[in-house]
Amino acid sequence: MTKKPEKTGIGASRVLRTKIKKKSGLKESSRRWLERHMNDPYVQRSKAEGYRSRAAYKLIEIDDKYKLLKPGMRVIDLGAAPGGWCQVAAARVKSDVEAPSVVGIDYLEMDAIPGTTILELDFLDDDAPDRLIEALGGKPDMVLSDMAAPTTGHRRTDHLRTMYLCEVAADFAMSVLQPGGHFLTKTFQGGTEGGLLDVLKKNFRTVHHVKPPASRDESVELYLLARDFRGRAISGAQDDS
């Protein structure tokens, strides 16, 4: 593995570009993925700035554009591991370390995050929604979901499995959000989210597809942002975005 200085598109600092030798023992596809990951400017920036993942910048970029997270808000983060989104949310809502207003949930183990209550639990468990609300101490102002199903390598299957998580997250959000609250979830391009969009448009004032710069161009990943929850009792309303 060799390194040479190279400028990146993020910031003006010079970084070391890592080259992994073809005789490293890795499969070629794995070698290319690892090399791309290690040289990703967002990965390098996350390490320098103390974020747990490059995904933190996706939420930062979306929030910078739409001004969603405000001091005093209560936030639930679904599929929170390794914790990048919790870090961003806790900082932006100024969550109290002693009485956190951010709750993250994941079946994967996570280290503690200041200003965040972490539940090591599968969101799909029957008691997960009640435990989230109990931990938060009330209804949230925003529900975040960066959940994605483990990939199988079959694009259609992966899309359907992640869309299921997206739909479950949306159903949860609409059952717990405060009026005026927001919902942000990962989805994949693939054409099966029409039904979900219809439901969101009936229950939120605006619904957008968002692809932040930190989401790789070649990725089929998108985010659905539903803003200003009307209240689930309202049906048949049309999106006015």
Residues annotated as catalytic (active site), given as ranges: 186
What DSSP letter does each residue of 146-169 carry, written as one string? ---PPP-S-HHHHHHHHHHHHHHH
Query: Residue 63 annotated as binding?
Result: no
Which strand (E) or helix (H) includes residue 232?
none
Residue with tokens 């639990």: 121
Report helix, strand and coil shares of the chain as percent, to nearest 5. Answer: 35, 20, 45
122 is in an annotated binding site: yes
228 is in an annotated binding site: no
* Angstrom distance (rounded) from CA 103 to CA 80: 9
Residue entry with tokens 């049309």: 238
Residue 39: both structure tokens together: 């040289």
Phi first, then psi: give them for residue 172, nearest 5 degrees.
-60, -50
Whole-number Å distance between alpha carbons of 168 and 137: 22
Q: Token digits for 172?
A: 């949860």
Q: Is the dihedral of CA 202, 103, 83, 94 positive or negative?
A: positive
Judge whether 33 is annotated as a binding position.
no
Q: For 205, how many CA atoms within 13 A lie in the half-sphere containing its CB?
A: 8
146 is in an annotated binding site: yes
Contact present, 200 and 208 (Cβ < 8 Å)? no
The binding site for S-adenosyl-L-methionine consists of: 83, 85, 106, 122, 146
